[in-house]
């Protein structure tokens, strides 16, 4: 895309300040590039400049964190397959050891953005369990593809489904331990929702702990837990290692649920909108590439590497291709396998998706009071930036900022009355 | 004297840290490996500050423990993430966790730990104040509503309605908001 000359931007964007700007230009114009000038232009004018076609990213290099999970694929491929170069940036992917580190590094600026749990971004924005920091969701990275694994010990006791687990928990009293990956994160919410839909209170009937994804399988092996909810490939890995089985996939809990997002601080999105847009475009390109099923084997091969997920290709490849087996002898092709684009249905940052996590944070006592659900979601989810980016790479944008979903317990979530929805659950904190 | 718990799987690093903290006159109450970290072990250590390695995957485990139990909420000093002093300070301004380079010497560390502990307390105080302010607001709303009911149903003036509620609260040994709530409930019952 052609860059307009610097003076055009300055003159049209800053009419009242023209004189001082011109003086300034005389002194420093020669040494500053377009990016330097752009960062001095206030917010409102910058989007005007975007509309005029100036999309030079303010930053040339963007540091993006990820956790070793199958759904880090679009972020990793945007870098490895050089979709980033096409949009004038270089993505430096950074493998992180914990979600706490992802959060802290985004907050202190060491990471510009990250592959991150949807609920975590909302939790940080509201200051749940730590310092409050205004956050942004640039796009959703994937739907589906997480699961709940139960241990072989539970299988021997006959607990292979939610209903039979409930029977066991009621009849054989002991401390049952279930793990998720972060207190405000998606896996905590899927696990709690699933247990609660079988009338097991995740906070009082069982014990819940947090364990980093790559360590789930090892912890189950040594008997530290009865079940866990985590992203792939770690549920498939538990089957491969013969220590557990899949009792439910998260697409069983909520078909096409939102999962990881491309998150950043509000400050980053405001200060570097062109960079944010370039980042969204590069990751959208990667998402489209991954959703071509012919490419999935190659995707698995790339992310299986030690620098990324660090797991055998075959363990990643099966479920990435939609080929499921549950470790109890059942095999199926899941039409609701992990999706990365689905012509934009995955990536649009629906306000109803963001609000859902708030309703669950309220349900489980992580939020003491009802927040202004809609206002928070509107502030965090960068629908404007996303739409501009999506239209550039020809990814469809849905008409409505809400969507309607029916969850495993039959309740319907449409984003219309979040306060009522949050209060409607019988099993709660 | 601040009581410090170190969580680190690298034993000799933890030992070195313990030694330098003790030189700076801190009380190191324990060194835990990550696999030992759970509610009980954190409780038992009863530390003022927890020091962990920034790149330890177990940090998320600690997040859950401190979030689910307010008594176990501790300032966490995170070692090894940043290289220069300025970014350390930026990080500390940004949050409760303090980021400190592993190469920081004992003396520097003591300052950082004090700052981390102080920042944490400040943050907690602000949050508690906010909670308090919110509950006061709720109580005031209850009292206003009850006053309105008394004025409408009994024709009292506003000062009279308030006086009656206050007297009742004093004679029953209840809080004004509780009396107000009772009036509202009674009204709802007859409505």
Contact in structure between A208 and A178 (CB atoms under 8 Å): yes
pLDDT at A12 over 80: no
Give me the pLDDT at residue B11, please. Answer: 85
Closest among A39, A235, A75, A273 to A150, alpha carbons compared: A235
Contact in structure between A53 and A34 (CB atoms under 8 Å): no
Please tell me the CATH code under which domain A61-143+257-350+369-398 is placed.
Answer: 3.40.190.10
Please state, in angstroms and rounded to a whole number, the distance separating the CA atoms of residues A421 and A406.
Answer: 13
B168 shares its domain with B93: no
pLDDT at A3 over 50: no
Q: Label the pairing between strands A260-265 and B98-100.
A: unpaired
Please state, in angstroms and rounded to a whole number, the distance separating the CA atoms of residues A392 and A281.
Answer: 8
pLDDT at A276 over 70: yes
Strand, coil or helix: A193:
helix
- Domain span at residue B136 reads 131-190
B74 shares its domain with B136: no
Reported as a single tens digit per residue, the pLDDT across A201-240 is 999 999 999 998 988 999 999 998 999 999 999 999 999 9
B95–A133 CB contact, under 8 Å: yes
pLDDT at A24 over 50: no
Q: Which of A66, A96, A98 has the most B C-beta neighbours within 10 Å, making it the best mutation to test the interface with B?
A: A98
B27 shares its domain with B42: yes
Beta carbon pairs, A and B, within 8 Å: 86
Segment A149-171 mean pLDDT: 97
Segment A135-160 mean pLDDT: 97
The complex scores an ipTM of: 0.77
For residue A127, list chain B residues with Cβ-Cβ distance below 8 A. Answer: 127
B119 shares its domain with B147: no
* Helix (H) and strand (E) counts in chain B: 7, 5
Please state, in angstroms and rounded to a whole number, the distance separating the CA atoms of residues B123 and B140.
Answer: 26
Both tokens of residue A252?
């069983």
Please state, in angstroms and rounded to a whole number, the distance separating the CA atoms of residues A247 and B167.
Answer: 60
Please state, in angstroms and rounded to a whole number, the distance separating the CA atoms of residues B58 and B35.
Answer: 8
Any A CB within 8 A of B141 CB: no
For residue B90, list chain A residues with Cβ-Cβ distance below 8 A. Answer: 108-109
A130–B96 CB contact, under 8 Å: yes
Segment A365-374 mean pLDDT: 95
Rounded to a whole number, what is the distance in Å from the CA of B163 to chain A's nearest CA? 31
Mean pLDDT of all residues belonging to chain A: 89
B64–A182 CB contact, under 8 Å: yes
pLDDT at A43 over 50: no
Give me the pLDDT at residue B103, please. Answer: 55
Segment A186-190 mean pLDDT: 98
The domain that contains B94 carries what CATH number?
3.40.50.2300
Cα distances (Å, whole numbers) of residue A275 to A90, A218, A279? 10, 39, 6
Q: Which of B114, B130, B146 is the last residue of a domain?
A: B130
The domain that contains B151 carries what CATH number?
1.10.10.10
Mean pLDDT of all residues belonging to chain B: 81
B15 shares its domain with B102: yes
Q: For A41-50, A120-129, A351-360, which range has the lowest pLDDT when averaged over its residues?
A: A41-50
Label residues B122-136 b or e (16+ Cβ within 10 Å = b): ebeeeeeeeeeeeee
Reported as a single tens digit per residue, the pLDDT across A304-326 is 999 999 999 999 999 999 999 99
Q: Domain coordinates of chain A in residue numbers? A: 6-51, 61-143+257-350+369-398
Identify the helix (H) or strand (E) that includes residue B64.
helix B59-68
Q: How many domains does chain B divide into?
A: 2
For residue B85, list chain A residues with Cβ-Cβ distance below 8 A. Answer: none
Per the listing, tokens 């640039």 go with: A138
pLDDT at A299 over 70: yes
Label residues B29-45 b or e (16+ Cβ within 10 Å = b): ebbbebeebbeeebeeb
CA dihedral B43, B46, B48, B52 (to 10 degrees): -60
Strand, coil or helix: A91:
strand
Phi, psi angles (nearest 5°) of residue A281 = -65, -45
Give me the pLDDT at residue A132, please. Answer: 81
pLDDT at A25 over 70: no
Is the preceding omega at residue A233 within 30 degrees of 0, hence cis? yes
B146 shares its domain with B70: no
Give me the pLDDT at residue B86, please. Answer: 57
Q: What parts of chain B have a pLDDT lower than 50?
A: 94-96
Give me the pLDDT at residue B155, please. Answer: 93
pTM, whole model, 2 decimals?
0.80
pLDDT at A67 over 50: yes
Q: What is the CB neighbour count within 10 angstroms for residue A15? A: 10
């Amino acid at each position: 895309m052609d860059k307009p000359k610097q003076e055009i931007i300055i003159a049209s964007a800053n009419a009242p300040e023209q004189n001082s700007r011109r003086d300034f230009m005389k002194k420093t114009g020669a040494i500053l590039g377009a990016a330097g000038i752009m960062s001095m232009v206030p917010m409102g004018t910058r989007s005007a400049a975007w509309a005029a076609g100036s999309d030079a990213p303010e930053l040339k290099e963007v540091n993006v964190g990820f956790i070793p999970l199958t759904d880090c694929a679009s972020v990793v491929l945007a870098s490895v397959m050089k979709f980033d170069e096409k949009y004038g940036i270089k993505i430096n992917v950074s493998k992180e050891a914990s979600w706490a580190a992802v959060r802290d590094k985004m907050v202190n600026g060491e990471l510009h953005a990250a592959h991150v749990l949807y609920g975590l971004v909302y939790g940080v924005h509201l200051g749940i369990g730590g310092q409050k920091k205004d956050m942004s969701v640039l796009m959703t990275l994937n739907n589906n593809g997480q699961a709940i694994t139960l241990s072989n010990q539970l299988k021997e006791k006959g607990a292979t489904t939610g209903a039979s687990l409930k029977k066991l928990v009621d009849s054989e009293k002991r401390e049952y331990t279930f793990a998720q990956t972060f207190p405000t994160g998606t896996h905590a919410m899927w696990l709690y929702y699933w247990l609660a839909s079988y009338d097991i209170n995740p906070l009082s009937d069982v014990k819940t702990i947090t364990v980093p994804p790559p360590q789930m399988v090892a912890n189950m092996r040594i008997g530290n837990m009865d079940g866990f909810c985590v992203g792939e490939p770690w549920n498939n890995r538990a089957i491969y290692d013969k220590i557990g089985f899949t009792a439910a996939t998260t697409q069983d809990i909520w078909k096409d649920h939102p999962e990881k997002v491309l998150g950043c601080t509000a400050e980053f999105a405001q200060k570097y909108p062109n960079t944010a847009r370039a980042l969204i475009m590069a990751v959208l390109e990667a998402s489209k590439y991954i959703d071509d099923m012919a490419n999935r084997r190659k995707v698995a091969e790339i992310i299986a590497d030690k620098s990324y997920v660090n797991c055998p290709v075959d363990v990643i490849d099966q479920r990435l291709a939609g080929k499921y087996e549950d470790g109890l002898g059942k095999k199926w092709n899941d039409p609701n396998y992990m999706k990365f684009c689905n012509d934009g249905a995955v990536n649009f940052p629906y306000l109803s998706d963001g609000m859902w996590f708030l309703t669950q944070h309220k349900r489980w006592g992580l939020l003491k009071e009802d927040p202004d659900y809609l206002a928070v979601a509107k502030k965090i989810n960068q629908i404007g930036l996303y739409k501009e980016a999506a239209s550039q790479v020809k990814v469809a944008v849905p008409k409505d900022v809400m969507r309607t979903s029916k969850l495993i317990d039959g309740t319907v979530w449409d984003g219309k009355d979040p306060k009522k929805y949050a209060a409607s659950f019988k099993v709660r904190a | 004297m601040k009581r410090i718990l170190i969580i680190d799987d690298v034993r000799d690093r933890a030992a070195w840290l313990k030694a330098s903290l003790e030189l700076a006159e801190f009380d190191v109450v324990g060194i835990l490996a990550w696999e030992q970290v759970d509610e009980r072990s954190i409780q038992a250590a009863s530390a003022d500050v927890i020091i962990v390695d920034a790149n330890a995957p177990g940090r998320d485990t600690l997040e859950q423990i401190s979030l689910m139990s307010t008594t176990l909420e501790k300032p966490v000093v995170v070692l090894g993430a940043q290289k220069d002093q300025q970014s350390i300070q930026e990080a500390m301004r940004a949050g409760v966790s303090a980021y400190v380079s592993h190469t920081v010497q004992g003396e520097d560390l003591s300052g950082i730990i004090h700052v981390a502990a102080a920042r944490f307390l400040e943050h907690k105080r602000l949050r508690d104040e906010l909670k308090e302010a919110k509950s006061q607001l709720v109580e005031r709303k209850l009292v206003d509503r009850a006053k309105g009911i008394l004025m409408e149903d009994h024709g009292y003036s506003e000062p009279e309605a308030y006086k009656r509620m206050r007297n009742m609260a004093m004679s029953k040994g209840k809080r004004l908001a509780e009396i107000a709530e009772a009036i509202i409930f009674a009204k709802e019952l007859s409505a």
